[in-house]
Amino acid sequence: MTTTTTLARGERLHLSRARLGKLVRHVIGVAAFLLLWELAGRTGLLTWLPTASASLARVVGLAVDPAFLGDLLATLTAAAIGLPLAVLVAVPIGLLLGTVPVVEEMTRAIVEFLRPIPSVALIPLALFAFQPEINAKVALIVYASAWPILINTLYGVRDVDPVATETLRSFGFGRGSVIMRVSLPSAAPFIFTGIRLAASITLILAISVEYFVGGAGGIGAFLIQASTGIGADAMVDVIATLVWAGAVGLAVNTVLRRAERRLFRWRFA
């Protein structure tokens, strides 16, 4: 933003024209894809795939479908509860492991064994251990999305300029205030990247859990319900929900990326 204001007028015009051209090409690309999809359906090339027009009409239809909106809300609510909890769990642990090497070395073997367990393998276990199901969903979201935050916090804290921490130490600041004043702020960009990665994991886990418990609602339950139908009708519902899921994922990712850029502009400059 600041660079564009200092540019000469002609250059600015050129820049905005380049951006417009890019946008036009984006639109053409998407339109061409939709056209091909429509043609594939109309010509009978892909009989199982509903046409683009039918699918998009259903996408719009879902926007006013209270059952779908309720499910969408349920998924987003679980993700929105889980992500902050994961931050609350992972950041302090990451700080501890990052600032106290002894603890890190001690627990490394356990971390290395736990981390590769595919989180969805824990679904049956969580469903037994946590009742009602919404708790299992949130617990799994917290567990799975805590990992990237934890690892990024750990790396971020390790990356802190030692001169800065030593300086504060030599001015008599205690360990806690060094962490609060130097380690945490300078690890913040890393932590935020971890949170952005974790956000997409929350959706993965939420939808996966919802596949197994219809009672908890959510777009996963909606998808499974739709997929029990037969043939083209079922497919239209599934594809339309997929488009919604993609849109939600894209929106979340874009918002977090923007926020990342804005919050840590000094780092990207």
For position 235 contacting other proteins by CB under 8 A, the verdict is yes
For position 241 contacting other proteins by CB under 8 A, the verdict is yes
Q: For residues 27-66, which are near other proteins according to CB under 8 A?
A: 28-30, 32-33, 48
**Cβ nearer to other proteins, comparing 98 with 237:** 237
For position 171 contacting other proteins by CB under 8 A, the verdict is no
Beta carbon of residue 197, minimum distance to other proteins (angstroms, whole number): 9
CA distances from 76 to 13, 195, 218, 220, 259 (A): 40, 16, 8, 11, 19
Handedness of CA 114, 117, 120, 123 (dihedral sign): negative
How many chain residues bind other proteins (CB under 8 A)? 60
Beta carbon of residue 205, minimum distance to other proteins (angstroms, whole number): 9
Q: For residues 118-147, which are near other proteins according to CB under 8 A?
A: 118-125, 127-129
Segment contacting other proteins by CB under 8 A, of 8-16, 63-71, 238-246, 259-267? 238-246
Rounded CA-CA distance 165/179 in Å is 8
Q: Is the peptide bond before 132 cis (omega within 30 degrees of 0)?
A: yes
Query: 260 near 196, Cβ under 8 Å?
Result: yes
Angle between helices 52-63 and 66-99 (to 10 degrees): 80
For position 186 contacting other proteins by CB under 8 A, the verdict is no
Q: Which amino acid is at 214?
A: G
Query: 64 near 123, Cβ under 8 Å?
Result: no
Q: Cβ–Cβ contacts within 10 Å for residue 57, how many? A: 14
For position 227 contacting other proteins by CB under 8 A, the verdict is yes
Rounded CA-CA distance 160/186 in Å is 6
Among 68, 143, 192, 212, binds other proteins (CB under 8 A): 212
- Contacting positions for other proteins (CB under 8 A): 21-22, 25-26, 28-30, 32-33, 48, 105-110, 112-114, 116-125, 127-129, 200, 203-204, 207-208, 211-212, 219-220, 223-224, 226-227, 229-231, 234-235, 238-239, 241-242, 245-247, 249-250, 253
